[in-house]
Structure 1
Amino acid sequence: MKESIVRLRALEKQRFAYRYALNVVDFDAETVAPEGSADGRAEACEVLSRADFDLLVNDNTAALLRQAAQDAETEQERAEVRELQRAYDQISKIPADEYAAFTKLTQQSIPAWVKAKRTNDFSVFAPYLEKIVAARRAQAHYFAPDRDPYEVLLDQYEHGLTIAQCDEFFATLRETIVPLLADIRDHGTPIRTDFLDQDWPIDAQRKVSEKIMQLWGLDPAHCYLAESEHPFTTEFWRGDVRITTHYMPRDMFSNLYSVAHEGGHALYELNIDPAYDYTAVTGGATMGIHESQSRLFENYVGRSRAFVHCLYPTLRELFPTQLADVTEEEIWRAVNRAEPGLIRTEADELTYALHIMVRYEIEKALIQGTLAVADLPAAWNAKYKEYLGVDVPDNAHGCLQDIHWSMGDIGYFPSYALGSAYGAQAIADLRKTMDLDAQWAAGDMEPLKAALKERVWQWGSMKEPQWLVQSLCGGKFDPHYFTRYLKEKYTALYQL
Structure 2
Amino acid sequence: MKESMQKVRELEKQQFGYSYAMRVIDFDSETIAPEDGNDGRAEAMEFLSRQSFDLLVNDSTAALLKAAAADAETEQEQAEVRNLQREYDEIAKIPAAEYAAFAKLCQQSIPAWTKAKRTNDFSVFAPYLEKIVAARRAQAAYFDPDRDPYEVFLDRYERGLTIAQCDAFFAQLRETIVPLLAEIQKRGAPIRTDFLNQEWPIDAQKKVSEKIMQLWGLDPKRSMLAESEHPFTTEFWRKDVRITTHYMPRDMFSNLYSVAHEGGHALYELNINPDYDYTSVTGGATMGLHESQSRLFENIVGRSRAFVEYLYPTLKELFPQQLTDVSAEEIWRAVNRAEPSLIRTEADELTYALHIMVRYELEKALMQGTLAVADLPAAWNAKYKEYLGVDVPDDAHGCLQDIHWSMGDLGYFPSYALGSAYGAQAIADLRKTHDFDAQWAAGDMEPLKAALKERVWQWGSMKDPRWLVKSLCGGEFDAKYFTEYLTAKYTEIYKL
Q: TM-score range by the shorter chain?
A: over 0.9
Residue 230 of structure 2 aligns to which amino acid in structure 1?
H
Match of 2:262 in 1: 262
Aligned pairs, number: 496
2: distance between equivalents of 1:415 and 1:347? 16
Give 1:57 deviation, angstroms.
Answer: 0.1
Cα distance per residue 1:380-410 (max 9 Å; x no partner): 0000000000000000000000000000000
The runs of at least 4 consecutive aligned structure 1 residues that moved more than 2 Å come to none
Match of 2:106 in 1: 106
Residue 52 of structure 2 aligns to which amino acid in structure 1?
D
| Aligned ranges 1:335-414 → 2 under 5 Å | 335-414=335-414
2: distance between equivalents of 1:154 and 1:2? 35
1: distance between equivalents of 2:163 and 2:220? 40
- In the alignment, does 2:174 pair up with 1:152? no
- In the alignment, does 2:491 pair up with 1:491? yes
- Which runs of 5 or more residues in structure 1 are unaligned? none
| Aligned ranges 1:80-479 → 2 under 5 Å | 80-479=80-479
SS of the residue 1:248 aligns to: coil
1: distance between equivalents of 2:159 and 2:255? 31
Cα distance per residue 1:52-110 (max 9 Å; x no partner): 00000000000000000000000000000000000000000100000000000000000
Cα distance per residue 1:274-325 (max 9 Å; x no partner): 0000000000000000000000000000000000011000000000010010
1: distance between equivalents of 2:227 and 2:303? 23
Give 1:37 deviation, angstroms.
Answer: 1.4
Give 1:213 deviation, angstroms.
Answer: 0.5
Give 1:36 deviation, angstroms.
Answer: 1.2
Give 1:159 deviation, angstroms.
Answer: 0.7
For the aligned residue pairs, the C-alpha RMSD in angstroms reads 0.3
Residue 27 of structure 1 aligns to which amino acid in structure 2?
F
SS of the residue 1:378 aligns to: helix
Give 1:35 deviation, angstroms.
Answer: 1.3
Residue 199 of structure 1 aligns to which amino acid in structure 2?
E
SS of the residue 1:110 aligns to: helix
2: distance between equivalents of 1:21 and 1:413? 26
Residue 292 of structure 1 aligns to which amino acid in structure 2?
S
Match of 1:27 in 2: 27
Residue 193 of structure 1 aligns to which amino acid in structure 2?
T
1: distance between equivalents of 2:184 and 2:377? 29
Residue 296 of structure 1 aligns to which amino acid in structure 2?
L
Match of 1:42 in 2: 42
Cα distance per residue 1:183-208 (max 9 Å; x no partner): 11111111000000000000000000
- In the alignment, does 2:61 pair up with 1:68? no
SS of the residue 1:241 aligns to: strand
1: distance between equivalents of 2:439 and 2:120? 45
1: distance between equivalents of 2:448 and 2:184? 32
1: distance between equivalents of 2:93 and 2:161? 21
Give 1:266 deviation, angstroms.
Answer: 0.2
Residue 206 of structure 2 aligns to which amino acid in structure 1?
R
Cα distance per residue 1:205-225 (max 9 Å; x no partner): 000000000000000000010
- In the alignment, does 2:1 pair up with 1:6? no
Give 1:492 deviation, angstroms.
Answer: 1.1
Work out the percentage of aligned pairs sharing the same amino acid. Answer: 83
Residue 275 of structure 2 aligns to which amino acid in structure 1?
A
2: distance between equivalents of 1:215 and 1:121? 39
SS of the residue 1:481 aligns to: helix
2: distance between equivalents of 1:382 and 1:266? 35
2: distance between equivalents of 1:211 and 1:251? 17
Residue 457 of structure 2 aligns to which amino acid in structure 1?
W
SS of the residue 2:113 aligns to: helix
Cα distance per residue 1:406-435 (max 9 Å; x no partner): 000000000000000000000000000000
Please identify, of 180-189 and 452-461, the stretch whose mean Cα deviation from structure 2 is larger. Answer: 180-189
Cα distance per residue 1:349-374 (max 9 Å; x no partner): 00000000000000000000000000
